[in-house]
């Protein structure tokens, strides 16, 4: 009789930063249902990073077990399909009898079925459940093992919420005219028209918007509990690997990169990774530094699959069982969303180098001591040229090594039209004047209202 491999229920949650999950100790109870599920026999990785920002390279690494050099993907607006040099999770699993379904607006190559859902309204997670639960039931009724990959969008802006979640984490007056915390947000021309189409009309308090992010996560968590409950009711829980992760984190009111997910500060790099599989036999927290490329090798190991691929990532089950894994305490980081930059992160240092001027008018080189300054608030590049030189050398040596191994240049150097502008920007002002999201006409009424209130004075 052929071996029956475990099913895989994969929650690939967009824009979820782990430090806003109660699973990771956040002071607001944002993920009580995920917490309870994982804490009862699951494994949580406490130092999980998505090193290539944003969505496109994040998911590319997540579903292939490869880094950005192997996928040749670093940009949100990636040109062309994922390279044929790598295989995706569903493509690999098909060799072992799996059928696969992907739900969401960002495809993972090789699935047998793709389902979309309305993911840009206040009912994002409920709309997901409307299609995910029937699909789960269909998959559970078949003889084959299955992969159900869901891309939840609730933590991605717009942070839509509804009662009772809207005021779950906020008790102030979001329209207080004396609160000027959103003033710099409204003054940031590239994004202001977008914000004004989903911020409440006349909102002045940044803490209210942050509370809506947290509320969206809590709402999603409740909806996810319905999927987990249905998995149990179908009798599939013990035969299913359940995975929670994200493609990248989110900027809220951090580093002037408001309510988005560009840059390579840690609030964007640090993401959740947790799984539960009752037949694994281990539980608890893992302190080893982990990356997106480690997810697929880990899932395949849990499933008992040795596909013979030499992944860039590692099988992190060995960090749980005590067998030990190759440590990777320092690693390469990239971003090509609204800025193009790369850098090098160690447990102590973060080096960030802009490859062209960005629309935030940030310095070309940023250096942070992550031990003394974990919030990355004080750029000390000018005071520490020796550290900059050392880290740059480490980064460039890594780039040269990986370029030689994959046989092509670092994609951060070749994706020159990452912004859609047609060429690299020559100045921050040019970037600021040409990058834009949102509908100016739809925002004009709200802009006038803010002027009346004195928020834009």
Measure Cα distances from 23 to 35, 46, 362, 409 in Å: 5, 10, 33, 39
Q: Considering only CA atoms, which of 43, 7, 46, 76 is closest in space to residue 435?
A: 76
Predicted local confidence at residue 452, as pLDDT: 53
Which domain does 123 fall in, by range?
Answer: 7-328
Answer whether the bond into residue 54 is a cis peptide, omega within 30°: yes
Q: Is the pTM of this model over 0.85?
A: yes
Predicted local confidence at residue 3, as pLDDT: 66
Beta bridge pairs of residue 52: 334
Answer whether the bond into residue 297 is a cis peptide, omega within 30°: no
Predicted local confidence at residue 442, as pLDDT: 54
**Domain stops at, among 328, 357, 382:** 328
Where are any strands of DSSP class E within 37-93?
Answer: 42-45, 48-49, 52-53
Q: Would you call 32 helix, strand, or coil by DSSP? A: helix
The answer to whether residues 369 and 281 belong to one domain is no
Which sign does the torsion angle of CA 234, 111, 318, 289 carry? negative
CA distance 83 to 71: 6
Q: Considering only CA atoms, which of 385, 289, 375, 373 is closest in space to residue 328?
A: 289
The answer to whether residues 346 and 373 belong to one domain is yes
The answer to whether residues 182 and 103 belong to one domain is yes
For the chain, 457 residues long, the average pLDDT of each consecutive 10-residue run is: 83 97 98 98 98 95 97 90 90 97 86 91 93 98 96 95 94 96 95 94 96 97 98 97 97 94 96 97 95 98 96 97 94 97 98 97 98 98 98 98 97 94 96 88 53 44
Q: Tokens standing for 165?
A: 């979640």
Predicted local confidence at residue 450, as pLDDT: 45
- Please check whether residue 195 is in contact with residue 438, taking contact to mean a CB–CB distance below 8 angstroms: yes
Q: Tokens standing for 393?
A: 């050398």
Predicted local confidence at residue 238, as pLDDT: 96
CATH number at residue 425: 3.30.1120.10
**Domains identified in the chain, total number:** 2
Q: Tokens standing for 43?
A: 């494994």
* Residue 380, number of CB atoms within 10 A of its CB: 15
The answer to whether residues 189 and 338 belong to one domain is no
Report the alpha-carbon angle 160-165-170, nearest 5: 95
Does residue 28 form part of some domain? yes
Buried b (16+ CB within 10 A) or exposed e, 419-437: beeeeebeebeebbeebee
116's enclosing H/E stretch is none
The answer to whether residues 59 and 135 belong to one domain is yes
Question: Residue 200, exposed/middle/buried by CB under 10 A (0-12, 13-18, 19+)?
Answer: middle
Which sign does the torsion angle of CA 163, 166, 169, 171 carry? negative
CA distance 86 to 91: 10
The answer to whether residues 145 and 259 belong to one domain is yes
The answer to whether residues 250 and 351 belong to one domain is no
If you compute the radius of gyration of the chain from its CA atoms, what whole number of angstroms results? Answer: 22
The answer to whether residues 346 and 432 belong to one domain is yes
CA distance 156 to 32: 20
The answer to whether residues 287 and 244 belong to one domain is yes
What are the tens digits of pLDDT across the range 369-402?
999 999 999 999 999 999 999 999 999 999 999 9
Does residue 1 form part of some domain? no
Question: Residue 407, exposed/middle/buried by CB under 10 A (0-12, 13-18, 19+)?
Answer: exposed
Does residue 2 form part of some domain? no
CATH number at residue 22: 3.40.720.10
CA distance 303 to 47: 23
């Amino acid at each position: 009789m052929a071996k029956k491999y475990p099913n895989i229920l994969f929650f690939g949650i967009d824009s979820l930063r782990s430090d806003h999950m109660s699973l990771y100790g956040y002071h607001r109870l944002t993920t009580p249902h995920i917490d309870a599920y994982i804490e009862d026999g699951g494994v949580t990785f406490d130092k999980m990073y998505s090193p290539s920002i944003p969505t496109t390279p994040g998911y590319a690494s997540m579903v292939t077990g490869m880094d950005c050099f192997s996928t040749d993907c670093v940009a949100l607006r990636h040109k062309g399909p994922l390279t044929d040099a790598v295989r995706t999770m569903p493509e690999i699993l098909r060799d072992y009898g799996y059928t696969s379904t992907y739900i969401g607006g960002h495809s993972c190559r090789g699935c047998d079925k793709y389902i979309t859902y309305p993911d840009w309204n206040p009912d994002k997670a409920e709309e997901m459940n409307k299609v995910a639960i029937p699909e789960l039931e269909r998959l559970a009724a078949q003889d084959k093992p299955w992969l159900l990959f869901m891309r939840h969008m609730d933590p991605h802006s717009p942070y839509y919420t509804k009662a009772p979640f809207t005021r779950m984490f906020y008790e102030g007056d979001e329209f207080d005219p004396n609160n000027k915390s959103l003033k710099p947000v409204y003054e940031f021309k590239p994004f202001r028209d977008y914000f004004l189409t989903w911020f409440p009309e006349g909102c002045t308090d940044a803490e209210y918007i942050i509370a809506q992010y947290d509320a969206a996560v809590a709402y999603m968590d409740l909806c996810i509990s319905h999927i987990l409950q249905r998995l149990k009711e179908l009798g599939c829980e013990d035969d299913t690997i359940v995975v929670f992760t994200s493609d990248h984190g989110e900027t809220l009111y951090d580093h002037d990169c408001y309510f988005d997910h560009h840059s390579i500060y840690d609030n964007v790099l640090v993401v959740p990774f947790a799984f539960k599989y009752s037949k694994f036999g281990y539980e608890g927290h893992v302190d080893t530094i982990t990356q997106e490329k480690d997810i697929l090798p880990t899932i395949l190991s849990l499933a008992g699959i040795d596909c013979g691929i030499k992944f860039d990532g590692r099988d992190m089950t060995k960090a749980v069982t005590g067998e030990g894994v190759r440590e990777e305490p320092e690693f390469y980081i990239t971003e090509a969303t609204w800025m193009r930059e790369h850098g090098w992160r160690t447990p102590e240092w973060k080096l960030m180098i802009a490859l062209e001027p960005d629309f935030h008018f940030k310095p070309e080189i940023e250096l942070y001591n992550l031990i003394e300054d974990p919030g990355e608030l004080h750029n000390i590049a000018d005071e520490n040229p020796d550290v900059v030189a050392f880290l740059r050398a480490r980064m460039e040596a890594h780039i040269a090594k990986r370029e030689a191994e994959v046989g092509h240049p670092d994609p951060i150097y070749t994706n020159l039209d990452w912004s859609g502008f047609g060429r690299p920007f020559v100045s921050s002002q040019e970037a600021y004047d040409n990058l834009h999201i949102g509908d100016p006409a739809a925002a004009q009424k709200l802009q006038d209202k803010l002027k009346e209130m004195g928020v834009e004075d």
